[in-house]
Amino acid sequence: MRELTPETITDAVLDQMATTPDARMREVMAAAVRHLHAFAREVKLTPGEWIRGIEFMTAVGGMCTPERQEFILLSDTLGLSALVNGLHDSTAVEDGTHTSLLGPFYRETSPRLAAGSQIARTVKPGSECALYGRVTDVNGRPLANASVSIWQTGADGLYDIQESAASTDYRGVFATDADGVYMLRTVKPVGYSIPMDGPVGGMVKAQARHGMRPAHIHFLVGAPGYRELVTALYLRDDPHLADDVVFGSSGDLAVDLDANDPGCPIKGLPSIRFDMRLSREGAADKTSGRVGSDPAAIVKSRAGTGNGQSPAAAPAAS
């Protein structure tokens, strides 16, 4: 019988898991074990710290509902979502518009709206603006009838799903016209704090971090034969553009609110223009999925693995 010590336990675990039939699961789990064991050795993890870590992860799971995904928020604030996003970007066959985070507040059930519609139910005086742009391929050829899904916070810095699971506000899905143009009315986005009332917020407070996201609007854009684009625009004048708590902002996605844009197709309003270029679809796009999901879809997908199928082998939520 092998004597297990802090020096030999890692190899023993890897040997036992070597029979895993799924090659990708075997690769991922072996790397996870090696790095987790190395982490514990490096910091000389104590039993009390180990238990506190388990309590923290249990609390994160306990906050997850069809309306709130605390684990995605944790991944975002640790920079893991941005890292996975960057790794996914490197598989693109062409260099299109850079991606940003889907975030924990995306919903698959956004309403389809006509061009020029207002996505906000209530518009405070002086807050309304136009949002428009063109969706093209990387060579500038317009993509007609591309799907452009948009969502953002309200003037109070909250998403509709945070206020009421039954409400739908500040969201809409639009189609581009023959010239690849999308246009809508919305309100100027505001910077906001991530939810600080849960375990992730407690972690951020303990690290003396501000917890703020710069003002932004989310996009999910798709067209047949092209790589799905998950991105966001960020207002250039936001004070937290350079230190976004979830590491999602970047200078190439920064835009300005223009009070007098002669090219805006919706007249009489200050406007934001945001053009996007889609890469052609590659082989990796058929299996890799996107970084993030509707919180309700994650709960539904997890319930579907109750037949003994491992989560690693289950299909990714779309």
Q: What percentage of the chain exceeds 90 in pLDDT?
A: 76
Residue whose pair of structure tokens reads 């092209």 in the numeric block: 226
pLDDT score at 293: 74
DSSP letter (8 states) at residue 13: H
Domain, as residue range, for 161: 74-297
Residue whose pair of structure tokens reads 């991530």 in the numeric block: 194
Considering only CA atoms, which of 58, 59, 63 is closest in space to residue 195?
63
Across the range 126-148, mean pLDDT stands at 97
Task: Report the 3 state secondary structure along 139-200.
Answer: CCCECCCCEEEEECCCCCCCCHHHHCCCCCCCEEEEECCCCCEEEEEEECCCCEECCCCCHH
More confident residue, 125 or 312: 125
- Which phi and psi (to 5°) does residue 291 adopt? -85, 90
- Which phi and psi (to 5°) does residue 249 adopt? -85, 155
**Contact (Cβ atoms closer than 8 angstroms) between residue 173 and residue 221:** no
**Would 59 be classed as within a structural domain?**
no
- Which phi and psi (to 5°) does residue 149 adopt? -95, 135
Rounded Cα–Cα distance for residues 197 and 169 (Å): 23
pLDDT tens for 201-255 read 999 999 999 999 999 999 999 999 999 999 999 999 999 999 999 999 999 999 9
Q: Is 298 helix (H, G, I), strand (E, B) or coil?
A: helix
Residues near 220 by Cβ (< 8 Å), separated by ≥ 6? 102, 106, 147, 148, 149, 228, 229, 230
Rounded Cα–Cα distance for residues 84 and 292 (Å): 10
Burial of 8 (0-12, 13-18, 19+ CB in 10 A): exposed
**Would 36 be classed as within a structural domain?**
no
pLDDT score at 305: 54
Considering only CA atoms, which of 93, 110, 138 is closest in space to residue 276?
138
Q: How many separate domains does the chain show?
A: 1
**Would 275 be classed as within a structural domain?**
yes
Provide the pairing of β-strand 171-175 with 147-151.
antiparallel
pLDDT score at 150: 97
**Would 12 be classed as within a structural domain?**
no
pLDDT score at 301: 62
pLDDT tens for 61-101 read 999 998 889 999 999 999 999 999 999 889 999 999 999 99
The amino acid at residue 173 is V
Q: Apex CA 245: angle with CA 241 and CA 247, to 5°? A: 70
Does the pLDDT at position 15 exceed 80?
Answer: yes
Considering only CA atoms, which of 173, 163, 258 is closest in space to residue 222?
173
Residues near 258 by Cβ (< 8 Å), separated by ≥ 6? 264, 270, 271, 272, 273
Across the range 23-27, mean pLDDT stands at 97
Q: What percentage of the chain exceeds 70 in pLDDT?
A: 93
Which tokens hold the place of 8?
């030999």
Rounded Cα–Cα distance for residues 213 and 218 (Å): 12
pLDDT tens for 256-309 read 999 999 999 999 999 999 999 999 998 877 777 777 777 777 777 666 554 444
Residue whose pair of structure tokens reads 């790794």 in the numeric block: 87
**Would 314 be classed as within a structural domain?**
no
More confident residue, 121 or 234: 234
Q: List the helix and strand counts (H, then E) for the chain.
A: 8, 11
CATH number (domain holding residue 116): 2.60.130.10
Across the range 164-182, mean pLDDT stands at 92
Query: To the nearest whole number, what is the mean pLDDT of the chain?
Result: 91
**Would 265 be classed as within a structural domain?**
yes
**Would 69 be classed as within a structural domain?**
no
Rounded Cα–Cα distance for residues 83 and 288 (Å): 15
Containing 201, the helix (H) or strand (E) segment is helix 199-206
**Would 9 be classed as within a structural domain?**
no
Count of beta carbons in the 10 Å neighbourhood of residue 285: 18
Q: Band of the pLDDT at 311, cuts 50, 70, 90? A: very low
